[in-house]
Structure 1
Amino acid sequence: MALFRGHGMVETLRFALVLCVASIPVAMPTVLSVTLAVGAERLARRRAVVTRLAAIEELAGIDILCSDKTGTLTQNRLSLGRPFCVPGCAVDHLIHCAALASREEDRDPIDEAVLVAAAADPPVESRRLEAFQPFDPVRKRTEATLVESGARRFRVSKGAPQVLLAMAANAVAVQADVTRAVEGFAARGYRSLAVAEAEGDQPWHLLGVLPLFDPPRDDSKTTLEELRQLGIATKLITGDQVAIAREMAGQLGLGAEILLAESLEDLSAGPFHDPGERIERADGFAQVFPEHKYRIVELLQRRGHLVGMTGDGVNDAPALKRADAGIAVSGATDAARSAADIVLLSPGLSVVVEAIRESRRIFQRMHHYAVYRIAETIRVLVFMTVSILVFDFYPLSALMIVLLALLNDGAILSIAYDRTRWSPRPVRWQMPVVLGVATALGLAGVVATFGLLWLAEVVFAQPRELIQTPPLSQALGGGTSDRVRGPYGGALLVCAAGPAAAAGGGRHPAAGHPAGRERHLHGPDRLGVGPAGVGLLAGVVPGGGSGEATGLPAVRPTADPAAQPQGDLSSTLSAAGGVPEGLMIGLSAALIGLPY
């Protein structure tokens, strides 16, 4: 079209190149990185350290949280109850053997509870520890080999009842009683710890079961309810038995649908068996091994969920790495922290609630920027195209377009501090919605800016050199006036409003607010954002208007522009040619206040 109308090839190509470059969101990586970095700093204040910035966006969208029971939902402070002993074994001997299979330097909560209960037993000087195997999540037991002065060599072990029953030679005789005792403990929320001993290399002999109680944290039930209100389903994961998990889930307000982790791989239901559906319906999982955690996360992700996983041990690292938001709880090992996306510095899950809310605020800022940037790109491209087709006129020069891109992209960095509200539901990128809203706002901006150009070109027949100023002011101000906050507001609005605003200084003449003061204007006062609002009042009311009507000092222009007070906008309007020019600048200032 430009060539058909006789424009030069070089000038046309140069302008098209500048327009294309200005439409590219070159500041998008910077803006998003700054927004995430500022959000990570705010999360750190809430004692949630982010190790991967992209995890903030994923944390905002999780809809399922898989949480460990011990130490996360419970206090991890175990106390010993009244034990169960097989016939022929005394309580003191049971506790003594359990203490021999414990090690104080490991700082394990179970070992500490057992050692506290056995503290009254005097140490045997002639006894020597020959070997010790610490607790292993796969073996689920500890084992110690000891030698006494009389060359007596014996072994002691403590661990999961089902593991020690499978090893014991007297399992057939005591299994019914042990099972009944374990179920009774589990019904009251007690964990069961079996104890066994063996002489030399002889078979193991089960001695009894110790009940251990780990009370839930005071804030766990409230935290889970807050997560539920945020649209997040919490699934309990524990290595304990089903009865214990069900009892704890009841105390925490979770459901009673607890699955055995082994059942996840059960294919007996036929070739169409879908374990992901069972996991989706379950409220928790019992007798979980580390590999089961990875499998649970994987199956939930296949069902379309964004999954968060908490963990603290070395064996939790694969599941933390697999999860969309891996969360290492307070006191986690170095391996778990390195694999996690977020590291909690405070015990419990209450920090997670605050982190999710803050991440959703951050996501809203990113969402707002995406809508804004797409809308501004549509507005500039469509406005320039329509203006050239209708009026055969470039309303913005190449330099103005570059200035528009620089000032808008620079000002939008302040969106990292924008005031937003967290969504009550998990948030994800919905590109059809983003594009639809941005297109509607961009076209509305085209109508506003093109209407300003039409008034100047057709109604007031203004020179085109003057016309180029209001569209630039409106294009710049429309993008920055609602986004700028804090110390940047006044200065950027003065730049955005063009020469007319710069003549008025950096202070609201009526209210006396400094340009750098954090302030968001609404209603009639919105027209006074920066000094550009004076242009509207002076343009609509010939002669500047009265102080009663506008809230501004009444300033009457004189025939001699030099007689006007320095810094007064009326002098600028008089020098520009009178009321029509002032009205155009005023309309430009009014359009700056449109809510993009």
Structure 2
Amino acid sequence: MAQDVQASPAAGAVGAAKSEGNTGRSGARLDVAAIAATFTQLASSPKGLSSSDVALRQEKWGPNAIAAHEESRWRKLFGYFWGPIPWMIEAASLLSLIRRDWPDFAVVMGLLLYNAVVGFWQDSKAASALAALRKGLALKARVLRDGVWVTVDTAALVPGDVVSVAGGETLPADLLLTDGKYLSVDQAALTGESLPVSKAVGDSGYSGSIVRQGTMTGVVTATGNNTFFGRTAKLVASAGAKSHAEKAVIQMGDFLIILSGALALVLVAAQVHRDIVTAGHWEWQQAGSIVQLVLVLLVASVPVATPAVMSVTMALGALALSKRQAIVSRLSAIEELAGVDVLCSDKTGTLTLNQLTLQAPLPWGAASAEELTLGAALATQTQSDDAIDKAVLAAVKDTSRLAAYKQVDFVPFDPVNKKTVATVTTPDGKTIRYAKGAPQAIAALAGLSADSAKSYFDSVEGLARSGTRALGVARSEDGTTWTLLGLLPMLDPPRPDAAATIARAKELGVSVKMVTGDDVAIGSEIARQLGLGDHLLVASDVFGSDSSPEHIAIDAARAVEVADGFGRVFPEHKFQIVKALQERGHIVAMTGDGVNDAPALKQADCGVAVSGATDAARSAAALILTAPGLSTIIQAIMEARAIFERITSYIYYRIAMTLNIMLVVVLTYLIYDFMPLTAIMIVVMALLDDIPIMTIAYDNVKVQDKPLRWNMHRIISFSSIMGIMALIQSFGIVMLGMFWMKSPELSALLPMDLPHVQTMLFLQLAAGGHLLFFVSRVHGTFLLPPYPSWQILAAVIGTQIFAVLMCAFGWFMPPLPWMLIAVVWVYCLAWTFIMDVVKLLYFRVVDVRDGAVSMIEAPIGSRALS
């Protein structure tokens, strides 16, 4: 069971750390003197507070409510209009507005608004995490005020209040239990414990925990954000990291901004030189032509459809993942999942079934294993819903033997004496009593000798070290003298598919680390069975009691990186584990199902809420599994890597095409002194190129067997090489057109002028762009598998037919004769094979270089991919 920690009280009372052992025994509790001292520190007493005291404390400490601050939705919406690519689009829109170029303005602004709306709608789903956490708070509380028990709103509670809690209620704040027999508290959603915890005087209770049985009185030690529950909510509100996709797009935007700015200066300088030096005069009307030059270049440099294509691609990918029972709540999680190299997995209910089962019985003395199991079953009520009772009854192989006995009396489990006792009549009419319960309680009942007790408790401790709980069983024929029958080991077994899932994760280059609230001994045994390794650390030993989640010590981060898992973990620890791994350069996925997992789920690059997770966990997570176990996550990783490959192929193509368009505009203007493309041509061409590529979500790709990262050096270098090759191809068309104009023979065959050159270049860019995509979508030759999907082929063919018709019939441009259309297409097809050869040479050189670097770095240790 998980460690149980007293939350820091808002009024400064000193809490005591407590733990629950794997045998179910209570750990250290505050004694009477310590409880009295706590009352003193809280300036309270068992008689509660007066109304005047409450008013002063409410003014000082505020309401008992979660008040974590999150960024406003308006600020989030504004964020989608702020950044390199939005700036470029907005600048192009502003220049179009100044020149009253309404078609350009409408198209560019429409794409900007579409990108913002899609992104805002997707991310707004995550804002419900804090609301889901608030639902866990009790609405009313029974409190002792002015010596009278009254019912008040939980928000009105203050530190020092004395409250009463009973079965079926939710604890309204963090409490120190001061009076009553016992409470059975379900705090699984907070601490990850698989069974209700027995509480007694001197124990603490957490806000948001559910009381299953009993009635007790306690003093409020912490309220609102200072509670165990509140600190979790604050972590959720503050958690979260910028996705690697966002960083990659920003870097791409920075690169294009710098390049377009430099080229704009070149264009302006060239135009001013022609106007002043060559022509010898300057008029303000000429400033309009300079603005037009800059506008055309800016429109050419803006990958206006890139955010939309990426959003649609990932949205279609999210649809594919949903068919694999993985729901994406944040689109950027897809590319993050593709790069995950560390998976932090909760144990209970995720790696295990969260169902106690009996292991091989350990009979004592002359008792047999069958007699031991039967005795435990006879000390159980058949209609019980208790997890231990269900496990005991399920272990009886011959149920007919159980039916032959008649239960005539039953004493239910008492948290004080920690056992159940049943009186039964045997088939031959004898009356026998059976007892089962905590090992120490059964040992005391049986009156073991010193030697026997040592051997017995050695067995209990041995089971504990192997991660197994122990249940003692005894029998009495006279009700006075008891005979020990033995021990029943109980284990929450691993899921049947967990070991295979973990093995597959390792094949995919993903390291799995267990993160559990249970004791290290239990976690180590489960980890060993699953092949995770047995190097588990106590989380508090790694981070220390005074560590900050925002500042991870380097030694702690290194310890986290090499550990196989962690035991006795609390929400702050899970959050710190994720942060430590991220600081070490890892892309981290975190699975979980409870409120206690929510902060780490949100901070993780890809938070994964497993099947059956709480609302808070699902809201904080980026990926929600609807099928039990982790096998779905492997399918999701493979699907995510396929989606990542598709997006990377698009980015290669998009940067190369943007470079091509910018450079051909500048080069043509500098050499031939005319604009080879109009602004509307560039916008239409961008739409013709990118809209069909949205079907890239259906493209066939090779799934990589290692995590994928945004390697901006490779992206920029390869895209630049392809862009330069495309520039040579495009400028060749311009040169062909200019040569045609000056050739009497060719001009006599087909007249040619500058508008026709513009149309030829438009067609070459439209056709060459898609052919460039087919080249860049695979590392090998485009003539071999994986071939493009039928969806993308159909979209491209349809678009090219439309582009040919535009050029042939002169829509938005001068018409082009069919002969010239055929010339452009033959020219583009020939260049496709040339570019494919250049691509193969590039990847051969880069792969050899990267392989040599990997061989050098391998002995150094674990390194994050660049």
- Please indicate, yes or no, whether the TM-score normalized by the shorter chain is above 0.5: yes
Hey, what does 1:447 align to over in structure 2?
A: 728
Whether 1:475 and 2:765 are equivalent positions in the alignment is: yes
Question: Distance between the aligned counterparts of 1:357 and 1:369, measured in 2?
Answer: 19
Aligned-partner SS, 2:566: strand
**Superposition map of 1:165-564 within 5 A:** 176-177=454-455, 179-185=457-463, 191-193=468-470, 210-265=488-543, 274-289=555-570, 291-458=572-739, 461=742, 462-481=752-771, 482=773, 485-497=792-804
Aligned-partner SS, 2:629: coil
Question: Distance between the aligned counterparts of 2:417 and 2:802, measured in 1?
Answer: 72
Whether 1:587 and 2:827 are equivalent positions in the alignment is: yes
Q: For residue 56 of structure 1, what is the amino acid of its counterpart?
A: I
Question: Distance between the aligned counterparts of 1:246 and 1:19, measured in 2?
Answer: 62
Aligned-partner SS, 2:627: coil
1:356 Cα deviation after fit: 0.6
Instruction: Compare 403-412 and 459-468 and name the one that shifted more.
Output: 459-468
Aligned-partner SS, 1:468: helix
Q: For residue 572 of structure 1, what is the amino acid of its counterpart?
A: W
Whether 1:14 and 2:292 are equivalent positions in the alignment is: yes
Return 5+ residue gaps in structure 2 as ranges: 1-269, 276-284, 424-434, 475-483, 547-551, 743-751, 775-790, 811-815, 840-866
Alignment: residue pair count? 491
C-alpha distance 585-333 of structure 1, shift in aligned 2 (>3 A): closer
Question: Distance between the aligned counterparts of 1:97 and 1:291, measured in 2?
Answer: 43
Aligned-partner SS, 1:211: strand
Whether the 8 Å CA contact 2:378–2:407 is kept in 1: the answer is no
1:211 Cα deviation after fit: 0.6
Question: Distance between the aligned counterparts of 1:162 and 1:276, measured in 2?
Answer: 40
1:282 Cα deviation after fit: 1.5
Return 5+ residue gaps in structure 1 as ranges: 134-140, 149-155, 198-205, 504-568
1:456 Cα deviation after fit: 2.6
1:264 Cα deviation after fit: 2.0
Whether the 8 Å CA contact 1:55–1:324 is kept in 2: the answer is yes
Hey, what does 2:19 align to over in structure 1?
A: none
Whether the 8 Å CA contact 2:768–2:828 is kept in 1: the answer is no
Describe the superposition over 1:278-303 as per-residue Cα deviations: whole angstroms up to 9, x where unpaired: 22112233444555433332332232
Describe the superposition over 1:15-73 as per-residue Cα deviations: whole angstroms up to 9, x where unpaired: 43243134322222221211111111111111111222222122112111122334433
**Superposition map of 1:52-131 within 5 A:** 52-81=330-359, 95=376, 99=380, 104-105=384-385, 108=387, 110-116=388-394, 120=402
Counterpart of 1:27 (choices 305, 312, 323) is 305
Q: For residue 397 of structure 1, what is the amino acid of its counterpart?
A: T
Describe the superposition over 1:406-456 as per-residue Cα deviations: whole angstroms up to 9, x where unpaired: 322323322232322233222222323322222222222111111221233
Question: Distance between the aligned counterparts of 1:142 and 1:237, measured in 2?
Answer: 33
Hey, what does 2:786 align to over in structure 1?
A: none
1:390 Cα deviation after fit: 0.7
Q: For residue 57 of structure 1, what is the amino acid of its counterpart?
A: E
C-alpha distance 471-355 of structure 1, shift in aligned 2 (>3 A): same
C-alpha distance 3-113 of structure 1, shift in aligned 2 (>3 A): same
1:343 Cα deviation after fit: 1.9
Question: Distance between the aligned counterparts of 1:195 and 1:114, measured in 2?
Answer: 12
Describe the superposition over 1:544-577 as per-residue Cα deviations: whole angstroms up to 9, x where unpaired: xxxxxxxxxxxxxxxxxxxxxxxxx9x933xx7x
Q: For residue 758 of structure 2, what is the amino acid of its counterpart?
A: Q
Whether 1:2 and 2:271 are equivalent positions in the alignment is: yes
Question: Distance between the aligned counterparts of 2:414 and 2:623, measured in 1?
Answer: 34
Question: Distance between the aligned counterparts of 2:458 and 2:442, measured in 1?
Answer: 15
Q: For residue 731 of structure 2, what is the amino acid of its counterpart?
A: F
Q: CA RMSD in A?
A: 4.5
1:584 Cα deviation after fit: 5.3
TM-score (norm 1): 0.69
Question: Distance between the aligned counterparts of 1:21 and 1:252, measured in 2?
Answer: 56
Aligned-partner SS, 2:391: helix
Q: For residue 760 of structure 2, what is the amino acid of its counterpart?
A: P
1:196 Cα deviation after fit: 11
Describe the superposition over 1:502-544 as per-residue Cα deviations: whole angstroms up to 9, x where unpaired: 89xxxxxxxxxxxxxxxxxxxxxxxxxxxxxxxxxxxxxxxxx
Question: Distance between the aligned counterparts of 1:584 and 1:51, measured in 2?
Answer: 45
Describe the superposition over 1:353-393 as per-residue Cα deviations: whole angstroms up to 9, x where unpaired: 11011111112222222232222221111111011111112
TM-score (norm 2): 0.49
1:145 Cα deviation after fit: 11
Hey, what does 1:46 align to over in structure 2?
A: 324
Q: For residue 274 of structure 2, what is the amino acid of its counterpart?
A: R
Describe the superposition over 1:463-507 as per-residue Cα deviations: whole angstroms up to 9, x where unpaired: 32332222111111222244681432321012334667789xxxx
Whether the 8 Å CA contact 2:340–2:707 is kept in 1: the answer is yes
C-alpha distance 492-293 of structure 1, shift in aligned 2 (>3 A): same
Question: Distance between the aligned counterparts of 1:267 and 1:287, measured in 2?
Answer: 13
Whether the 8 Å CA contact 1:81–1:211 is kept in 2: the answer is yes
Aligned-partner SS, 1:373: helix
Whether the 8 Å CA contact 1:239–1:286 is kept in 2: the answer is yes
Aligned-partner SS, 2:591: strand
Q: For residue 469 of structure 2, what is the amino acid of its counterpart?
A: S
Whether the 8 Å CA contact 1:98–1:158 is kept in 2: the answer is no
Q: For residue 766 of structure 2, what is the amino acid of its counterpart?
A: L
Instruction: Compare 217-226 and 27-36 and name the one that shifted more.
Output: 217-226
% same residue = 39
Q: For residue 818 of structure 2, what is the amino acid of its counterpart?
A: T
Instruction: Compare 376-385 and 490-499 and name the one that shifted more.
Output: 490-499
C-alpha distance 38-335 of structure 1, shift in aligned 2 (>3 A): same
Whether the 8 Å CA contact 1:60–1:360 is kept in 2: the answer is yes
Hey, what does 2:854 align to over in structure 1?
A: none
1:590 Cα deviation after fit: 4.4
Aligned-partner SS, 2:274: coil
Whether the 8 Å CA contact 2:602–2:621 is kept in 1: the answer is yes
Q: For residue 488 of structure 1, what is the amino acid of its counterpart?
A: A
